[in-house]
Structure 1
Amino acid sequence: MRDGEEMTRRQILGIGGALGVMAVTGLSAAAALSRRPAATGAELRSAVPLPRPFQVPLPIPSVLAPVGRTGGADRYAITQREVTAEILPGVRTRLWTYGGTFPGPTIESRRGRPVTVTHRNELPVPTVVHLHGGRTPAASDGYPTDLVVPEGWHRAGPGARGDGARGDGAHGGHGMPGHGMDMGAGMSAHDPRAVTTEVTRDYTFPLDQRPALLWYHDHRMDFTAPAIWRGLAGLHIVRDDAEDALGLPSGPRELPLMIADRAFAEDGSLDYPSLDPALRDRPGVREPYAAGVLGDVILVNGAPWPVHEVDAARYRLRVLNGSNARHYELAFEDAGDGRSYDFLQIGADQGLLAGPVTHRSLPVAPAERYDLVVDFSRMPVGTLVRLVNRLGSGRTRDVMAFRVARKAADTSRVPRVLSTDLPAWRREDAVRVRDFAFRAGRTGDGGTHGWLIGGRAFDPTRTDVTVRHGDTEVWRLVADVHHPVHLHLSGFRILSRGGEAPLPHDAGLKDTISLRPGESAEILTRFDAYRGRYLFHCHNAEHEDMGMMANLEVI
């Protein structure tokens, strides 16, 4: 990566679709990959009987009530704990949860009204909480070495990473040896800036940002992927008066949908190919799953292939791809004759678009969120509408279904103008251009394989990029295989893909961009929120754990 390449306004205007020598080389090396299907990783096969689709009602995550309100701020409390729950009918599964449920409880908040969430860790390993999509001060952003350790962790036996308040829980094993994914063989580093707390930690979110669907999840270094897989994920919705006044579908006709894939072992537990199932000592997954872990069961809000009864009316669907590595291309199909229905996209990762965009299908990469409106009044009562994944096959092609149950009055609307507060950033405002290559490669003295940014695996002690507060920059990204690239703290606009215009679903303000195999892209962002240490990384969670993460320092 080129850190801090200064550009004149004329040079910036001349960038256009040109990606420079680095990106051209990356595209040449990855050209053959561009024809591969949109799947990354290997699929686990469940060892228990799986239910027929569209039998289980869609659960709606509960909305968490604040435990206190003081000084114009709301305070919440969440306990991270292990529970046994029924995900597959008749099967008991152990989960790591926020508040005892998967997904965790939804937090609903108002724009500009601060929220403090006290997390208590009663799990057997350290945790870190990241509010994905939040404009959050660095101290509460969930840096991977800012651990909340369980009681007695520093007194635990051999292999217990961490040393109480000194923050020695920081470590990094990003090697990918050719005969098994032993990441413990890679780089190991102590992070002198880590802030470790015992049992509890307060995370404060100012929420001075556009209304949007955010989500919170574990972000512990080297173990993010298995922790999310076990259940550490939940939704956070930010609202404001301007959005409320639009007349969009609301109440029971606004549905949050966290889509995620999982696999189940013979005893009903969640199957995952960890080298260390205790998630204590040895990061990594077995070699066949190094590119990402896929499950053969599609869950929506924690239920397998659920069904939801709807009125013949408009519905707002707040969609999150909460999968570790699985990509989706979502479409709505009539279960009877197979016809597909169009739908409206009204929002992206960071809130409402300027105006609605019509789609027949929608690609959704891990960690991306899309705000959709589906008009079920166009379908006869009794119709079963399947939400399908056109990238899936067999059981993984089905996601969930909607049954149009009754005629009903509908006063909702979708205005042609949805938002007027999108940032007015321009390419010519950029003071700097940076190049980043997201690729597999070799790293470390042993020459082990890893997922790398700019040829380097993540090191918490190294500053990879330094930006000035208030600066606007163009970032040029190139990938070898699928990489959903997430930028902490700041949203961005997608300027181009492969030197051409962005795709229709790229509209609006994003915080995660799905780079397809061999693809290049340009994004435009401004660092005008907070100062401090942040991250950008691939949100294929296995890639992230295996080194595809970098430090961003805002000064």
Structure 2
Amino acid sequence: MKLGLLGGGYTVLASGSGLRRVFADDELPASPQLQPFQVSLPVPPEPKEVVGGFTSTDCSDFTGSGTRFFQIVEEERSVQIHPALPATPIWGYRDANTSSAWNFVLGPTFKVRMNEGGVVVRMTNNLPAHPAGFPDPLRGFGVNRMTTHLHGGHHPSRSDGFPDNINSFFDDNKTSRFHRFVSEPGQSYDYCYPLLDPGFSTHEADATERPSTLWYHDHFFDFTGPNVYRGLAGFFLVFDDLDTGNEATGLMLPSNKFTSQGVTNDVGPFDIPLVLQDK
């Protein structure tokens, strides 16, 4: 007999053995019972820097001798999440300059330092084509129009991952100017991350507001959640003279292997970013 109680996505029913919760998806097959801890923790490596860089007209005001350049692709791939399960199709980021298979759900783990020239990241949308603006017809959710947001970063507005393209007006005649922030399949977009102290654009830099553990993800209007669930996310770790990445210096926080200005820190890794996802 239904008690008429509904909340939190389930109904409370009475039965001979007492109350039980009936969820909206009770008719779906139960998740398989799996043996845990069968594989090592997957930790996506750093992307490989593009030797010699590349020309980025959109980021020319924020590049210099110390700027590092990276190329990332957004793609559909299959990842073996557990050895007892078939590979799972996902959407995810991958380093365009690696020759090996990218067997990770998450994208590359960026490890960068403040005030060393910043980075330029070219994102290329290699997702399969389907009617723009409509969910993926094969799985019912997610849209293949990409715009990337570096969550918690301080950077030029054009690199903030606007959720859609916009038209703006710059004169008294209200002349419209189109701004493309969204990449359709086959298109690329350059993101400028100067990695300067917050307030750099107004000459009021504030080192107390420096970022640290950040993450990047798709940011398309109305579909950020579904696209991130598909796998479009990754870590972006920022170091400075306090959080140096070497536990023998600065605040002596756990070490994290990375290379800065040609010097490689080989201690660790003991600072390992973790993300929990239901797949």
Match of 1:260 in 2: 277
Closer, same or farther: CA 117–146 of 1 in aligned 2, 3 Å: farther
Out of 138, 163, 166, the residue aligned to residue 144 of structure 1 is 163
CA deviation vs aligned residue, 1:509-544 (integer Å, no higher than 9, x gap): xxxxxxxxxxxxxxxxxxxxxxxxxxxxxxxxxxxx
Classify the secondary structure of the residue corresponding to 1:104: coil
Shift of 1:51: 1.4
Q: Tell me how far apart the structure 1 counterparts of residues 29 and 229 of structure 2 sit (CA, whole Å).
A: 14
Classify the secondary structure of the residue corresponding to 2:38: coil
Out of 60, 63, 71, the residue aligned to residue 46 of structure 2 is 63
Match of 1:98 in 2: 93
Bigger proportion of residues as strand: 1
C-alpha contact (below 8 Å) 1:211/1:243 kept by paired residues? no
C-alpha contact (below 8 Å) 1:145/1:194 kept by paired residues? no
Match of 2:265 in 1: none
Out of 154, 157, 167, the residue aligned to residue 135 of structure 1 is 154
Shift of 1:47: 5.0
Q: Tell me how far apart the structure 1 counterparts of residues 165 and 149 of structure 2 sit (CA, whole Å).
A: 10
CA deviation vs aligned residue, 1:222-259 (integer Å, no higher than 9, x gap): 11111101100000000012222222221221111112
CA deviation vs aligned residue, 1:273-315 (integer Å, no higher than 9, x gap): xxxxxxxxxxxxxxxxxxxxxxxxxxxxxxxxxxxxxxxxxxx
C-alpha contact (below 8 Å) 1:128/1:146 kept by paired residues? no
* Partner amino acid, structure 2, of 1:252: P
In the TM superposition, 1:481-520 aligns within 5 A as none
Match of 2:59 in 1: none
Closer, same or farther: CA 241–223 of 1 in aligned 2, 3 Å: same
In the TM superposition, 1:309-388 aligns within 5 A as none
TM-score (norm 2): 0.58
Out of 56, 70, 79, the residue aligned to residue 73 of structure 2 is 79
Closer, same or farther: CA 229–111 of 1 in aligned 2, 3 Å: same
* Partner amino acid, structure 2, of 1:110: R
Q: Tell me how far apart the structure 1 counterparts of residues 123 and 254 of structure 2 sit (CA, whole Å).
A: 32
Match of 2:252 in 1: 247
Q: Tell me how far apart the structure 1 counterparts of residues 253 and 29 of structure 2 sit (CA, whole Å).
A: 40
Classify the secondary structure of the residue corresponding to 1:261: coil
* Partner amino acid, structure 2, of 1:236: F
C-alpha contact (below 8 Å) 1:129/1:218 kept by paired residues? yes
Classify the secondary structure of the residue corresponding to 1:84: strand
Q: Tell me how far apart the structure 1 counterparts of residues 29 and 48 of structure 2 sit (CA, whole Å).
A: 36
Q: Tell me how far apart the structure 1 counterparts of residues 160 and 24 of structure 2 sit (CA, whole Å).
A: 31
In the TM superposition, 1:397-416 aligns within 5 A as none
C-alpha contact (below 8 Å) 1:74/1:115 kept by paired residues? yes
C-alpha contact (below 8 Å) 1:128/1:144 kept by paired residues? yes
Shift of 1:88: 2.8
* Partner amino acid, structure 1, of 2:65: G
Matched, 1:195 2:199: no
Closer, same or farther: CA 50–132 of 1 in aligned 2, 3 Å: farther
**RMSD, aligned α-carbons:** 2.8
Shift of 1:48: 4.9
Q: Tell me how far apart the structure 1 counterparts of residues 159 and 196 of structure 2 sit (CA, whole Å).
A: 14
Out of 115, 120, 126, the residue aligned to residue 122 of structure 1 is 126
Q: Tell me how far apart the structure 1 counterparts of residues 29 and 65 of structure 2 sit (CA, whole Å).
A: 50
Match of 1:340 in 2: none
Q: Tell me how far apart the structure 2 counterparts of residues 43 and 71 of structure 1 sit (CA, whole Å).
A: 57
Q: Bigger shift: 214-223 or 202-211?
A: 202-211
Shift of 1:97: 0.9
Which structure has more relative contact order (CA 8 Å, sep 6+)? It is 1
Match of 2:58 in 1: none
Shift of 1:106: 0.6
Classify the secondary structure of the residue corresponding to 1:94: strand
Match of 1:508 in 2: none
Shift of 1:192: 7.0
How many residues align? The count is: 182
* Partner amino acid, structure 1, of 2:121: V
C-alpha contact (below 8 Å) 2:76/2:89 kept by paired residues? yes
Q: Tell me how far apart the structure 2 counterparts of residues 43 and 72 of structure 1 sit (CA, whole Å).
A: 54
C-alpha contact (below 8 Å) 1:132/1:216 kept by paired residues? yes
Shift of 1:80: 0.6
Closer, same or farther: CA 216–43 of 1 in aligned 2, 3 Å: farther
C-alpha contact (below 8 Å) 1:217/1:234 kept by paired residues? yes
Matched, 1:220 2:223: no
Shift of 1:58: 1.2
Gaps of 5+ in 1: 1-35, 148-165, 168-190, 263-555
Out of 22, 27, 32, the residue aligned to residue 49 of structure 1 is 32
